[in-house]
Amino acid sequence: MRRLAALVAALDEATDTQGRLAALVAHFRTAPEADRVWAVALLAGRRPRRTATHAQLRDWAAAAAAIPPWLFDEAHAVTGDLAETAALVLPPPGTVRDPGLAVWMERLVALAALGEAARRAAVLEAWAGLDTPGRIVLNRLVTGGFRPEVTRRQLAQALSLATGQDEAAVAAALAGEWDPARTPFAALVARPAGAGLAPLPFCPDRRLDGPPEALGDPALWLAERAWDGLRAQIIARDGALAIWAQAEGLVTDRFPEIAPLARALPQGCTLEGEVLAWAGAAPLPAAALRARLGRGRLTRRQLDAAPAVFIASDLLEAAGRDLRAAPFADRRTRLAALVAGLPAGGPLRLSLELPFADWAALYALRAGARAAGAVGLMLSRRAAPRGGDHDPSDRWRWPCAPMTVDAVMVYAHPGPGRAAAPFTGFTFALRDGEALVPVARAASGLTVAELADIAAFVRGNTLERFGPVRRLRPELVFEIAFEGIDASPRHKAGLALRHPRILRWRRDLPAAAAGTLGALREMLPPAAPG
């Protein structure tokens, strides 16, 4: 447990991807074999079943520390973290015992079959032999809150660097079925499956913030809808199929409804596009799709609630031949012929070209994109290749004009590390009758001088403290921009804003003039059929 706690601390302190990779590689090179397997499992999201609720952990820790529950709650308000609070209030251990992560995990897995009294006794015994960092990790494992910010792709990269094995093969092994209690580390990282299904470099695109007229002749450009999906490639070779996401790595197991394409697609082809959750004639909210990535075993109910499709926009390889040097228009023609040869109604669809005669017509297409469930337009130069010297200026993402709302700042959150400003993230609320309901959190869009002014406001207008978070007197109003809005039962407002950001400080508006929750609900798109 001590090694895992050190790894978690190193991941938390890392400020960039390279720092996280370095911490992971060092751990996988030095930890005992059985412990490495369990570390991989935990980082990949294969957490053991939760064996204690937050309330139980609070009561157990307060009793072990001989303090009243109200005092524990006061300490919790200061730290803002239940697992850390429980670890800190406990008396120091007599003798630290660390038999290794594999042994600890065997004990935690066995807890699921015990009654509450036995689970409590086992957790108390574990606390007695762990130092504070180890207790924090144990507490998060017991309550199901162990969630290090490591993507599948980073995990596969780290294992590849630590062992010298092919990254694609490692990613394929991690996505398969394996039991951390019975799988040797060498077998996990050395499986050959998937080595021939590695993706090609993803096509870069840039955000078009200025007018499209700067791109020249509109006849040189092809327009498609831009979706808020999962940027991905589908590779079909030797009767097998792999789905690689640009940010997540291998995600084939997350989308079993797309797997039948292994039999339908011509072998030796690579397609690029987006995975979307789709119902009827429109995409479902992006959250419905991304929820699959953080789950363990997917259920039929979850799959039926968000059926996935792949919207193909480019053909990078056909019959084993690399097509990236060909003009984009030629690749599109071949892609259209490939899709036309597949059975209708399947999970693979062709992204539609949106014809436009001039830039004015393109503006009209962009204005109607949101009504179609899209987030903007993709513009690709028809004659552009996709070789190693691909120019990012050949492909642009032109987002829809942002939606906006005037909201009241109600919470201030501290910045990471030794930030120049003590508070860099903020929660914003809208009026709902006499109440203010939080609707979004944003951490970008303010100048250094504005952050300093807000810090001064926080010092004199804090109503409550929740650990490092401050609840503020609701006086400051800001214009918040966002790309879309979805219904969300997980949020108090029943709504979730996509990519919220601070557009400007409305110093001219009092809190009473802020927007309302009812007006925000009116921005919701129509519910998808089915």
- Considering the domain architecture, whether residues 477 and 365 belong to the same structural domain is answered as no
Encode 491-519: b = buried (16+ Cβ within 10 Å), e = exposed.
eebebbbbbbbbbebbeebebeebbebee
Structural domain ending residue among the three candidates 117, 142, 167: 142
- Considering the domain architecture, whether residues 368 and 429 belong to the same structural domain is answered as no
pLDDT at 528: 42
Task: Count CA within 13 A, CB hemisphere, residue 511.
Answer: 18
Q: What is the CATH number of the domain that holds 453?
A: 2.40.50.140
Q: Cα–Cα distances in Å, from 455 out to 438, 441, 448?
A: 20, 17, 11
Is the per-residue pLDDT at 149 higher than 50?
A: yes
- Considering the domain architecture, whether residues 310 and 434 belong to the same structural domain is answered as no
CA distance 342 to 269: 14
The answer to whether position 362 is within a domain reads: yes
Q: What is the CATH number of the domain that holds 51?
A: 1.10.3260.10
Is the per-residue pLDDT at 203 higher than 80?
A: no
- Considering the domain architecture, whether residues 407 and 388 belong to the same structural domain is answered as no
Is the per-residue pLDDT at 192 higher than 60?
A: no
Q: What is the tens place of the pLDDT at every residue in 309-347?
A: 999 999 999 998 989 889 999 999 999 999 999 888 889
- Considering the domain architecture, whether residues 115 and 8 belong to the same structural domain is answered as yes
Q: Cα–Cα distances in Å, from 20 out to 34, 112, 153, 441?
A: 22, 32, 12, 25
**Beta-bridge partners for 80:** none
Q: Count of domains in the chain? A: 3
**Beta-bridge partners for 405:** 480
pLDDT at 278: 87
CA distance 527 to 507: 36
Q: What is the tens place of the pLDDT at every residue in 66-75?
A: 999 888 888 8
Which residue bears the tokens 């903020």? 426
Do residues 206 and 260 lie in contact, with contact meaning Cβ atoms separated by under 8 Å? no
From 179-193, 241-255, 276-290, the region with the lowest mean pLDDT: 179-193
The answer to whether position 349 is within a domain reads: yes
226 Cα distance to chain centroid: 19
Rg (CA), the chain: 26
3-state SS class at 105: helix
Q: What is the CATH number of the domain that holds 370?
A: 3.30.470.30
What is the residue range of 127's domain? Answer: 2-142
The answer to whether position 437 is within a domain reads: yes
- Considering the domain architecture, whether residues 366 and 454 belong to the same structural domain is answered as no
Structural domain ending residue among the three candidates 394, 412, 427: 394
CA distance 328 to 351: 14
First CA to last CA distance, the chain: 47
Of 143, 136, 92, which is closest to residue 2 (Cα–Cα)? 136
- Considering the domain architecture, whether residues 218 and 366 belong to the same structural domain is answered as yes
Token digits for 59? Answer: 């009561």
pLDDT at 417: 44
pLDDT at 511: 93
Residue 338 contacts by C-beta under 8 Å, 6 or more apart in sequence?
Answer: 265, 266, 269, 271, 315, 318
Q: How confident is the model at residue 421 (pLDDT cuts 50, 70, 90)?
A: low
CA distance 328 to 272: 12
- Considering the domain architecture, whether residues 313 and 415 belong to the same structural domain is answered as no
Which residue bears the tokens 């935690």? 108
The answer to whether position 237 is within a domain reads: yes
Do residues 231 and 249 lie in contact, with contact meaning Cβ atoms separated by under 8 Å? no
The answer to whether position 178 is within a domain reads: no
- Considering the domain architecture, whether residues 357 and 236 belong to the same structural domain is answered as yes
Is the per-residue pLDDT at 172 higher than 90?
A: no
- Considering the domain architecture, whether residues 388 and 274 belong to the same structural domain is answered as yes
The amino acid that residue 393 corresponds to is S
φ, ψ for residue 248, nearest 5 deg:
-100, -20
The answer to whether position 375 is within a domain reads: yes
With 0-12 CB in 10 A as exposed, 13-18 as middle and 19+ as buried, what is 66?
exposed
- Considering the domain architecture, whether residues 261 and 288 belong to the same structural domain is answered as yes
Q: How many residues does the chain have?
A: 530
- Considering the domain architecture, whether residues 17 and 104 belong to the same structural domain is answered as yes
Q: Bigger pLDDT: 437 or 303?
A: 437
The answer to whether position 182 is within a domain reads: no
CA distance 308 to 347: 7
CA distance 456 to 469: 15
Is the per-residue pLDDT at 193 higher than 50?
A: no
Do residues 159 and 165 lie in contact, with contact meaning Cβ atoms separated by under 8 Å? yes
Q: What is the tens place of the pLDDT at every residue in 360-391?
A: 999 999 999 988 888 899 999 999 998 644 56
Structural domain ending residue among the three candidates 394, 429, 460: 394
Mean pLDDT of 414-433: 76
The answer to whether position 17 is within a domain reads: yes
Q: What is the tens place of the pLDDT at every residue in 444-473?
A: 788 889 998 999 999 999 998 877 788 999
Task: Note the pTM of the prediction, 2 decimals.
Answer: 0.64
Task: Count CA within 13 A, CB hemisphere, residue 237.
Answer: 20
